[in-house]
Chains A and B, each alone.
Chain A
Amino acid sequence: LPPSFLQEFSSYGSLGQNQFSQYYHLPPNYTSSTPPSADEHGSGTGAGAVGYSAVKSEEAASAGPPTGAHPLRLTRCGSPAAAHPLRLTRCGSPAGRGRSLIVHLCCFQRVFLWDLDETIIIFHSLLTGTYAQKFGKDPATMLNLGLQMEELIFELADTHLFFNDLEECDQVHIEDVASDDNGQDLSNYNFMADGFNGSGGAGGAAGAAAGVQGGVEWMRKLAFRYRRLKEIYSSYKGNVGGLLNPIKRELLLRLQSEIENVTDSWLTTALKSLLLIQSRGKCMNVLVTTTQLVPALAKVLLYGLGDVFPIENIYSATKIGKESCFERIVSRFGKKVTYVVIGDGRDEEFAAKQHNMPFWRISTHGDLVSLHQALELDFL
């Protein structure tokens, strides 16, 4: 494909280049250029039939920015076009409100479905003492570290990620309420006083009315929050310290380092595999966790995984379970892709079996090391 085609993608509409560059490593000769002037297929917006068919031709794909509730979003996987034939697959999520149609220009081969706790990061087992017990560590030290991390997680979630507002209306995926969004500019929007949780600045009757759950206006405010969440995540995923005051920043750095110490570099080892997968370009890392979405985002940011998991690739299975999450992911990436489930057992193993997906169990460091070796040897 001519380079200009891919340039058009990388500067697609209002989504910004960051959105794309985080997904993959662009070869150095790709530069972000101005949007294409040609706009023969001006109607290439919106979801549903129009949007979907529009991307079937290369010209249409470069049409104007998305409008309305169903932005048509294009993502490109990063393998050099010459090596692999491009394939268009539809990856809109199935039934339910608020799905934006994500169309992958794909030559995807593998999608790795990762569990979070006790697979990539060690957090929960610090608190419960199971890690200490299993690997012969001092429980008190571990507990202390766990508690400090927990405090940071919930502070970040409450302060910057709207957890107070969103705790009761948890979503599976960041895009799930996007259809209720009206796209208005949020740069000067006051989230503190818009009456979302009934205790808004207006107070009185107006505040109470606006706080009714489920109303159209309330849904819109909900959607604003998730949109802002997305923006915040994308901005700080490589630098969560920017969201914290200097003291907390220091604390976080110390905590990260100490946790790595006592867990014998668990996270570092896991990261090797994650980065290797990411560097392949034809492979994707997806996170499926039983933590609620907002705290999960906080965990990902604080453990430094923001650059590995774009926010669109994070799913919370709290409400619907891992099996259903997997189903959503399969309908997003298609059946031609090979899925590999990586987790420490329980739900993910069962869910993998239900979907006939191969499962790689993580119980010890050795399993993470073997995983990395298998990836290096191209066995996976």
Chain B
Amino acid sequence: MSMLPTFGFTQEQVACVCEVLQQGGNIERLGRFLWSLPACEHLHKNESVLKAKAVVAFHRGNFRELYKILESHQFSPHNHPKLQQLWLKAHYIEAEKLRGRPLGAVGKYRVRRKFPLPRSIWDGEETSYCFKEKSRSVLREWYTHNPYPSPREKRELAEATGLTTTQVSNWFKNRRQRDRAAEAKERENSENSNSNSHNLSSSMNGNKTLLGSSDDDKTPSGTPDHTSPSPALLLGSNAGLPSLHGLAPPPGPSAIPVPGGADSVHHHHSVHHDTILNSMSSNLVDLGS
């Protein structure tokens, strides 16, 4: 390839060549072309030229250079998607090299958090989603009719959207959770501006938390004080006795910790006044089943 004695291309023509070679995927040739450009500052600030340089830098694995270009110049919105992809891909690749193995979705998320898109290639609003807009709108539409699709419906949705049933399930689960969180936040905001507050709801929450933590904790059989939701555990707290098939142990104060414990999961604290007898009978019932 011979160079022209005086460079014969206008800036517009240079930009055109950059676009053509990029779109055609001729990155090697693009690199050579860029190298042949005269050292005119104005030319090298042209957006098409900068974009081309970014693409070449990425192609060559010259990521430092790539980041520098992407951060150095305010790019117009219609170039944002492509440049965002370059930024992200380069960071993913670098992270994977450090990790020594490919990045999963969470890994990529962490990379995006660590290296947020510079405002030169992102307007702060543009989001690119993992699922296609078409799929997302199908899921959203469905959600408004029924936020709890059955397994079969999930399969149908998976087919309609081109996703797996796991992805569909996760999408609905996340959506419900986020809706709930948003709603709770909404309520909290309106409560704070309200003088009213619901005792019930706060103690309900309290109960849930208590039970929640006990659910998570391992309940050692030797601590009858623990609120245990499981009737079997109540039995088991009498060490040495056989399991369900055995006879119910004689009730002692220690054997049944908080009588309403098990029921509280479902009936909150309204059952706290249950008698020991009640709890026993429920245990007996369990024994029989």
Contact = CB atoms under 8 A, between A and B. Distances in A.
Interface of A: 109-110, 338, 340, 358-361, 366-367, 369-370, 373-374, 377-380
B20 A361 contact: no
B115 interface: no
A366 B13 CA distance: 12
A358 B19 contact: yes
Given A379-B29, A379-B33, A374 B9 contact: yes
A360 B8 contact: no
Interface residues of B, number: 18
A359 B12 CA distance: 9
A369 B2 CA distance: 16
Main secondary structure of the interface of A (DSSP, over half): mixed
B233 to A, nearest CB: 64
Contacts of A110: 20, 24
Interface in B155-203: none
Interface string B9-22: 11011011101110
B20 A340 contact: yes
A109 B24 contact: yes
A338 B23 contact: yes
A255 B4 CA distance: 35
Given A110-B24, A338-B24, A374 B1 contact: no
B175 to A, nearest CB: 33
Interface of B: 1-2, 4, 8-10, 12-13, 15-17, 19-21, 23-24, 29, 33
B23 to A, nearest CB: 4
A14 B10 CA distance: 48
Given A360-B13, A378-B1, A378-B29, A370 B8 contact: yes
A109 B21 CA distance: 11
A374 B8 CA distance: 9
Given A377-B1, A379-B17, A358 B8 contact: no
Nearest to A110: B24
Contacts of A367: 13
21 contacts: A109-B24, A110-B20, A110-B24, A338-B24, A340-B16, A358-B16, A358-B20, A358-B23, A360-B13, A367-B13, A369-B8, A370-B8, A370-B10, A370-B13, A373-B8, A377-B1, A377-B2, A379-B17, A379-B20, A379-B21, A380-B17
